Structure 1
């Protein structure tokens, strides 16, 4: 009897402890592959991949962006999700590439991306609203010039997301400012929220990339092949879901 009473008190204590603990969030944090640029610098392709929250199914979404307009190429994106938990992320990534291969080949996409700056998800003590980068020097020399990219939320002139009426935390769109030698200018501002973003809750700077060994992207002004990768966190089933937005800085 004493043992049963002890176990009952222990179980009750655990229930109280669990009630006091904050709820864990297990959103879908997509990874990213830089598939590459077209040889003429007109297009950039990337793939998002991960395990979908709730279902546990692997998925991969492959995007081809026309850099002059910042929009998806015709017929994109390719979205693969197999409703079988035994199917791996590697398998769905391969399937997305295979399905997109005719377009990738026709546009001659395959030139590798050069990552000028990146804020990894495990990086500590970083400001996710700014990203500094420079024109790579030769050998081990320091970058020739310093650029600072800054992100800010914007709402003026944009219809709020549907979730604004649900009482959930949300943001509208975002803008990017670029500082060079202390002079700042706006290089991008949302005028609407793409339906693919769902209900945005936060934006963060993730990376700046350009075609590998193409330093002409810096001169005299940043060209369209210099692109920012922005993480967008949207309301999900079990927590914020992370996807990516591509912004050509020379638009």
Structure 2
């Protein structure tokens, strides 16, 4: 089933979570862990698209969500996310991804998502002893030369207000996010939550995942930070992703 512009599945299941309060966010059971695919940028680097996909905990249904982000406005473009959830455990993930790609084709074309993504830095899922609160990166040099710049992205979290009854559902306050960019002798805040959007769910942990930019970029003005978001779910924390513009 394809749905455009609706709240992601994690929040739609909120009412059912009340029945699962015994399974707290710190439960030994495992929540679902979405994966990510970077789709691309527009030629003017004003828009960025990515897909998150996986098998939903609790139901076992395959899902796929495609987001197109207006980087200057730091919000989804109209008509996104394009959300597919196949309510049949016998249908695999490939079918959900195919449906979401077909459903998002028009909006991807409208916003000109044609430019490849270059990964500047990445905390892989199997990385040992990774520091998920800091990620050092730079603009790639030529050939085997060192990066042409040196920046560090720092993540901080703090208790934040949410429109969802997170304390009632999980007995914990949800967390907000701040991202600080360190370069040279200074730093600047590139994002700080004032209030959590409903679409993010009840977040109990954030982790820096990666920094990406258009493949042709010569500076970080079009770079985007990808943050893993762990929100309460049926069987423990569920991982989803958000994209935060760095250079805007």
Q: Does TM, normalized by the shorter one, top 0.5?
A: yes
Alignment partner, residue 141 of structure 2: 137
The answer as to 2:56 corresponding to 1:59 is: no
- Match of 1:240, SS state, is strand
Alignment partner, residue 232 of structure 2: 235
Runs of 4+, deviation exceeding 3 Å: 158-161
User: Bigger radius of gyration, 1 or 2?
Assistant: 1
1:89 Cα offset (Å): 1.0
Q: Deviations over 1:169-222 (max 9, x none)?
A: 44321101111113112111112211111110111100000001211xx2xxx4
1 CA distance for matches of 2:174 and 2:84?
28
2 CA distance for matches of 1:23 and 1:250?
38
Distance 1:170 1:159, change over 3 A: closer
Distance 1:159 1:80, change over 3 A: closer
Alignment partner, residue 73 of structure 2: 69
Match for residue 35 of structure 1 among 25, 28, 39: 39
List alignment gaps of at least 5 residues for structure 2: 1-25
1:161 Cα offset (Å): 4.8
Q: Deviations over 1:9-55 (max 9, x none)?
A: xxxxxxxxxxxxx9632101000010111122111110100000011
Residues 66-105 of structure 1: pairs in structure 2 closer than 5 A = 66-105=70-109
2 CA distance for matches of 1:118 and 1:205?
8
* TM score, norm. by length of structure 2: 0.85
Q: Could you tell me whether the CA contact under 8 Å between 2:163 and 2:197 is conserved in 1?
A: no
List alignment gaps of at least 5 residues for structure 1: 1-21
Match for residue 209 of structure 1 among 204, 212, 218: 212
The answer as to 2:205 corresponding to 1:185 is: no
Q: Could you tell me whether the CA contact under 8 Å between 1:64 and 1:76 is conserved in 2?
A: yes
Q: Could you tell me whether the CA contact under 8 Å between 1:64 and 1:72 is conserved in 2?
A: yes
Higher relative CO (Cα under 8 Å, sequence separation at least 6) belongs to: 2
Length, aligned pairs only:
223
Structure with higher helix content: 1
2 CA distance for matches of 1:40 and 1:167?
43
